[in-house]
Amino acid sequence: MSNPVGIELVRSTRGASARIAKALKITRGAVSQWDKVPAEFVVEIEQATGLSREELRPDLFRREEAQP
């Protein structure tokens, strides 16, 4: 099984939904209704949870590969 990304990662990270709800001033129920992390909240969610934007929305952000 692959590593969780996006909303699956939020759901599998203990306390992440509560931290997101508090940071965005919305309910945890609202967070649970998301099919994917809304693009307009990615930066705030990254700051609140420590989950990277590349993990939260890999369709929008790519991790830069280190140059040798």
Report the pLDDT value the prediction gives residue 1, as an integer from 0 to 100. 46
Tell me what the pLDDT averaged over the chain comes to: 91
Q: Mind listing the pLDDT tens digit for each residue in 48-60?
A: 999 999 999 999 9
User: Residue 65 and residue 34: Cα distance in Å, rounded?
Assistant: 29
Contact 10, 17 (CB under 8 A): yes
Extract the tokens encoding 58.
């890999």
pLDDT band at 9 (very low <50, low <70, confident <90, very high): very high
Whether residue 18 is predicted with pLDDT greater than 70 in this model: the reply is: yes
